[in-house]
Structures are given as C-alpha cells and as structure tokens.
Chain A
C-alpha cells in the first residue's frame, strides 16, 4: 500500500499528463496482479461500495477527538472533503510510528471491504483504530477508500494510456477491456493484458464517439451532401449490444442499464447479433421531455404504472458491429445501410432508426434547425458520410449544431462553497426572479448554476460575496440582492416540486450583467411566458 500512496502523491503533485502516465507505469511495473487490478479500478474512478457514510465517520471522529459537532462541521466545510478533514483533525490523537504494512489488495479485500459485515459499533472501532495508527496521508487514503471513491486527478483515458504503454497493446483495446462492469482480481488484470486481442468476447460496449460543438460557420464544412444530418435528441446515449443472443444495454457512463428499459431489451430479441449506438427516449407518439425520461433513470426495476406512463424507445443512429464483426472502420454511409437493414428485419416499434434530414443546402438545414424546440430536440447532428466511428471526442467527423439556448436575467441570492478542490471558493449560486406575492415584489429562486464564469470572474465574485454576506448557514451564504446574471438553459418545464412552479434544464451562467441592476432582472411572469412558447409537454 505504500507504493500506492507514493503513486497517489505523484499523481496529486503534478499537472502534467506525461508525468502522470509515467507514474502509473512505474506503479504497474512494480505491482503484482492483484494490486495492479485494484489500482486501475481506483485510479479510473470506479467506486467500491460505500462502507461507511458520513454520519458514521462523524460519530467516529467525535468519539476520538471530543471536538463539538459544530466544530467538526466547520472544519469539514472548510476542507471540503471528509476523509481529509478526519486525517487533519486526528493529528493530535495519532500514535507515532504507524504505516501501511499490507498491500493494496490486502487492504481492500481483507480490511476495508469486510467492514460491510460489521455492525456500526464494530465499524467505528475498526476505523478509529486505523485512524489512530496511520500517518496523515495513509489515514486520508484509507478513509477515502472506505467512503467509496478516491479521485486521483486522472481520467479513465489516461489510465488506459498508461496500461496500454505498459502492456504494449493498442490503446483502444485496453479502453474497450476496461469498459463495463468488472471486479478487480488478478485474473481480470491478466485478461486486461492478454496479448491475444482477437479474443475479446464479452458483452462490453465500444468506446463511444462523442460529437464536438460546431463553433465555426456551418458553410465551412463544405458540401452539404458530404454530411448525414439527424436531429440531436435529448435522451440517454446508449449502446445496445447483442452477441450470441445475449443482450446488454450500456449507458455512456458505462453503466449497465439492461434491466431499466425492459421494453427495449425485449424488442432487441428480434435483432440479429449486432452493436447499435443510439439514444433512449421517452416516447408517446412523439418524444417526451427529458424530465419525463428522468422518472425512469435511477430506477433499477420499473413498475407497470411507470412503464405505461413513460414508455421508452431506442432510436439507433449507428451500427458498430454486425454478426460478430467490428464495422467501425467502414464509412458511415455503409454503416447506416447496415443499421437500416437490421432494424427493418427486426421490425419493432421500440427500436427505430433516428430519421435523417434532407437538405438542398445549408440554408434549408438552418431553417429546419429552427424548428428544433417545437420538435423537442436540441438541434442538429452533422456526421461525415465517409467517416469511420472514432473513439472519444475527436473533432471533425461528428458535429452537434445546437439551437441557441434560452436565457433570462436573474439575481444572485445565495452562494455556496464548492466541494473538494473548490471548498474555499463560492462556486455554486442560486438565482431568483421577481414575483408579486401579497402585493409585494419578492425574489423567487428559479435556478442553481455553478458554471460559466471565468476564474477571474469567480475570484472577483468571491470577494464581493465575502463583503456582501447577509447570513451564513454552514457553507451557504445569503448575499445582498445586487448582482444580475444572464442564465442560459436548454429547456423549461412546469414543476410542482419548485416554489417558482418552473424547472429550467441545464441552467448555466452566460454572462455577468454588471451593466444592469437587480430591478432590471426578469419577472416570474416573463419567465413563464417562455413556458408557453417552448415547453415540451
């Protein structure tokens, strides 16, 4: 485990990608298969089960330190990470001389995971014993692993690159093998490094190809005939994998969601073996708003009523594999033909092909794009007809040409400190618009947003927040209603869960309106007018 701690420090003390890859490779060269498997599991952001929640850890910390609860809360609000807070507060109560004696796999399998079989009292005792004996860094790491996740500042892509270089195998093979659900074990690690790359038989999806936002003038893309154009759907990107009759549905987040969309997986029984890329949508004669689809997300099993209320459909737009053969290198026009043939043979309502748009020229496409909102889509997708199916976000073959977002001017009323590396900065804001209640103008919260400002703006805003705080509630501060921001968002719907009666989709800060005052911000009535114009229900 000491090697893993060294790896963590190396990754945590550099911003250079090459240095991070080198550190991972150094670790893999020294580690045995069991440790390597766990290190890859952890470094690529996978989480073991959460073995102790914050209330339990807080109780443990209070017991050892005897600090009042408010002080532990205050410390946590300052640090932004509970494991780090515990490792710092334990300083006074630590017995010197301890360190991590065992290997990473021993810690995970024989110490940390067995916590699951203990009752709360026994868990607290076990955890406080570790806290008392481990030096600060080790205390921090073990506590992070107990709570499930350790973000080490590397992406899955970067881990895959290090493994690929270490094993001298193509990076996409490693990326592919690292996808989906797997348990870290020596056997898994050996299969990850298996030099025989033809034998990759499993239910695993391919790495998704991601479109880039179109920033240039669309005419610069050349002849419109070179492009296949579809609507940009607002659903769940997914791959439907059928191999040797076995069906699996994977989300872009590499989550296996087969059970959650039974109508889609049932329909897939009609398909021959293939891998399709597409979008899961809530659908009743036409696409339903994303807020409807959200009711199906997060449910591992779906009841009859929900199935009837929010039926779903898979609109496929690409064919990545047919009858066991990887066809990602074939041009899109050829893959599209295969897709249509597959779907025609299956002939089910739940599996459709994402329709393509006809266009004589870019102008006529722009005109069709302007219908996006009424159609309940986000804009257009432009895909090169002669392009292969690439990996990750490589620019050039797929563009998303989204419609301009909706926007309102709203007043900031609360600021909240971020978590993790942003714990000392106010980065999450709540915005409000004016409404008349009992004859008085009041500000009603309509959205929370935490992105869209530059670092310089965030720093300036933080200074302002500190100087204009009205009240503090833990990490949240209410601030003077003075600063106005233009918020952009992708959609608007009625919502009984929100005080304002509306819910904005993907709200973000478009700009800081230092040019106007709070009285110039929008009213709820104005915002609700957008509802009648654009609501997707």
Chain B
C-alpha cells in the first residue's frame, strides 16, 4: 500500500492521517517550505521546520496553530513516524521522511544541491520511495556556481554605477532575494535598497542570524541628488511583479536584471525585456536530480512539477521504477513569475 497517495487535497499519508503541502484545507498539514504554492492558509494544524516557522506566521497569520520541528527530530502521527530534513531550497525548507512499518518514503519538496549561505544544505535521506520535484528535469539545465553568478551581478552593478545608472535586480521576494544579498558579501559591504515586498522577509532572515548586505527600504532612501539621478549607482532588489509598474519610474534610465534558473535560456530574458538574466536557481538542476535519486537509494521514484514526464521516461529507460504524480504545485512556467513569488 502506498504510504503517501494523491488525494484531491494533495499528498496524503493514510497511516498518519496528515497531508504534505495540501492545496485545500485539511486538519493536519506538514509544510515543506513557505512559498505560496506549498504553504496555503486554512489548515487546522501546521507542522514545519523551526527556522521556517516565522515565514509561515508572516505569510499565513500569527494565529495559525503551528508545531515546529527541528531538522532530524521525529514525531509519531498515527502509525507513521515523520521527521524533517534539510532541502537546501530556502530558509527552513525541508524534505519529509515518513516511515510506516519499516518502509520509508521521502518527499523532497522543492530542493537544490547548490551552495546557499541562507539555509542548511540538502542532506540525502535513504528511502524506498522518493517523491522528487522535477522543475528543471532536462539535461540542458546545469547551474553555474553561485559565486560566479554573484560576481557577474556585482560587476553588472558596478558597470551601471560607472554610467550613473541604478541597477534593478528582480528576484523572488522569499529566498532568492536573501540569497543574493548573502552571496554579494563576497564582493562588497555596500548597502542595497529593497522594494517593500522584500523588506519583511529579509528581516525574518536577519532575525534568524543570516549574514547579508545591509539594506534599506527604497522608499526611505533620501540620497544626495535630485530627480532621476537620485538612485544612480544604487542596487535595488524587487520582486518580478514590480517590473513595468509605476514604481519603476523613479529610477529613470536604469539597468534591469532577473535572477532565476529560467534565465539560462536566452529566449527567456530577451522576451521579457530584461537587460540581463542571471542564472541562479533554488531548484535542483539535472545532474543534482540524478545524483540525489542515486544517493537516496530509492527503488521507486515519483516525480512532480515541471518536467516530471522527461525525468520519468529517462529513469524508466534506464530500468528504474518511476511514475508521475500530478500535483497542483505551480507548473513553474516563467510566464507566471510576475504573479507569484514562488519557485525559479
């Protein structure tokens, strides 16, 4: 019998009577991380990793019933034993390990294997069945090192500054923005301006002790110069949804960049009209997906999100047992990016 199955509410564990990242309200929800397509309102009791708890409270309300768990701490729910393990996606992101009668299933949630100073690194968890995300499951997707991308961002910022322009970098407000702020410390200690949507989440990261560049809400910035020159030389971090809005007008002639795994493809940044695309993703690339599946030693792989069809077909052709799970997590198309802050 399946330890985790798909129900209209989402991934469900009958032995423990709980859901994982349900998309409709349920009595008990184990949440892998705080992005909007995984942490939804209206559930009775939430379980989440302790460092991610403030994000959930910020997103879903201070009054939610939330039981925090530390990484590795285990808990019995019905006949199931559950524990959370680092997923390396954003602060507090977790894989969910579920054990019933000696059989182990792991749901990765969103994860990555690349370095990220803002969260605990992914740890492979041995299991019989692995439910993995497959957002970028195609061999074209291979991420450059975070350090080289941070260097590119810094040089782009300095190049714009030398020309008396501001640099507006679009990043998802939760996770990516803070990762960029942390990664840029290798190059500078300059202060960075933030769009209002990025401010509270950055404060949560700071409270958790994550070292990042100093920041200031863009609205509070006075500056020495007048008019459109006021922001010359500044780096501004904003969510993708701010692109093309009236908010952008204050920066006058500025450089624009977008920081996302989708930027690996030339067509994506050209079509969206960004000057620069910076390839930095919080999801696993193709080599990471394959190595993770191998390291977990799973005999069966269930794939969700994005290119699960490709991953399943590839694994099957190599003799591995694999199937798709049709979840309602966002199909992570770049074209929806401006409407949400999840994924990428």
Q: Which residues of A contact B (CB under 8 A)?
A: 12-15, 65, 67-68, 70-71, 74-75, 78-81, 84-85, 88-89, 91-92, 153, 420-425, 459, 462-463, 466
Contacts and interface: CB of A to CB of B under 8 A. Distances in A.
Contact of A421 (B270, B310, B317, B335): B270
Contacts, number: 74
A222 to B, nearest CB: 38
Contacts of B147: none
A466 B305 CA distance: 13
A58 to B, nearest CB: 15
Interface stretch (B25-33, B183-191, B261-269): B261-269
Contacts of A91: 142
Nearest to A77: B138
Contacts of B142: 88, 91-92
Contacts of B287: 92
18 contacts: A65-B139, A68-B317, A71-B139, A74-B138, A75-B138, A78-B140, A79-B265, A79-B267, A84-B266, A88-B140, A89-B139, A421-B270, A424-B333, A424-B334, A462-B333, A463-B333, A463-B335, A466-B333
A11 B53 CA distance: 45
A153 B335 contact: no
A346 B112 CA distance: 76
Contacts of A462: 333, 335
Interface in B266-292: 266-268, 270-271, 273, 275-276, 287
A12 B270 contact: yes
Nearest to B141: A88
A70 B267 CA distance: 22
A68 B287 CA distance: 17
B271 A425 contact: yes
Interface in B96-137: none
Contacts of A425: 271, 335
Nearest to A425: B335
Interface of B: 138-140, 142, 262, 264-268, 270-271, 273, 275-276, 287, 310, 313-314, 317, 331, 333-336
Closest 4 CB pairs of A and B: A421-B267, A88-B140, A421-B271, A421-B270
B140 A75 contact: yes
Nearest to B244: A455
B265 A78 contact: yes
B265 A84 contact: yes
A interface majority secondary structure: helix
A81 B138 contact: no
Q: Is the interface of B mostly helix, strand, loop or mixed?
A: helix
A70 B312 CA distance: 13
A425 B268 CA distance: 9
A88 to B, nearest CB: 4
B314 A71 contact: yes
A79 to B, nearest CB: 6
A15 B273 contact: yes
Given A15-B273, A80-B265, A424-B334, 8 more contacts: A13-B276, A78-B140, A88-B264, A89-B139, A153-B270, A424-B268, A459-B335, A466-B333
B275 A13 contact: yes
A88 B138 CA distance: 10
Contacts of A459: 335-336
A423 B140 CA distance: 14
A160 to B, nearest CB: 23
Contacts of A15: 273, 275
Nearest to B142: A91
A12 B262 CA distance: 16
Nearest to B268: A424
Contacts of A12: 266, 270
B266 to A, nearest CB: 6
Contact of B139 (A67, A80, A81, A153): A67
A13 B140 CA distance: 21
A89 B139 CA distance: 6
A70 B139 CA distance: 12
A269 B48 CA distance: 86
A422 B272 CA distance: 10
A426 B275 CA distance: 23
Q: Which of B267, B270, B271, B287 has the most CB of A within 10 A?
A: B267
A253 to B, nearest CB: 24
A469 to B, nearest CB: 11
A74 B270 contact: no
Contacts of B138: 71, 74-75, 78
Contacts of A81: 266-267
A70 B313 contact: yes
Contacts of B273: 15
B139 A75 contact: yes
Contacts of B264: 88
A423 B265 CA distance: 9
Contacts of B334: 424
Contacts of B335: 424-425, 459, 462-463
Nearest to A85: B140
Contacts of A70: 313
A420 B331 CA distance: 21
A327 to B, nearest CB: 42
Contacts of A13: 275-276
Contacts of B271: 421-422, 424-425
B241 to A, nearest CB: 12
B70 to A, nearest CB: 38
Contacts of A85: 140
Nearest to B314: A71
Contacts of A75: 138-140
Nearest to B264: A88
B152 to A, nearest CB: 11
A252 to B, nearest CB: 27
The residue among A15, A88, A422, A462 with the most chain B CB atoms within 10 A of its own CB is A88
B174 to A, nearest CB: 22
A80 B267 CA distance: 8
A386 B298 CA distance: 81
Contacts of A423: 265, 267
B271 to A, nearest CB: 4
A15 B258 CA distance: 14
A422 B273 CA distance: 12
A257 B331 CA distance: 49
B267 A420 contact: yes
A147 B197 CA distance: 45
A507 to B, nearest CB: 23
B139 A424 contact: no
Contacts of A79: 140, 265, 267
A424 B265 contact: yes
A475 to B, nearest CB: 13
A78 B271 CA distance: 14
Nearest to B163: A19
A415 B264 CA distance: 24
A424 B271 CA distance: 10
A144 to B, nearest CB: 11
Contacts of A74: 138, 310
Given A15-B273, A71-B310, A466 B331 contact: yes
A420 to B, nearest CB: 6
Contacts of A422: 267, 271
A492 to B, nearest CB: 33
A365 B223 CA distance: 61
Nearest to B262: A424
Contact of A463 (B266, B317, B336): B336
A466 B314 CA distance: 23
Contacts of B276: 13
Nearest to B265: A79
Contacts of A153: 270
B281 to A, nearest CB: 14
Contacts of B139: 65, 67, 71, 75, 88-89, 92
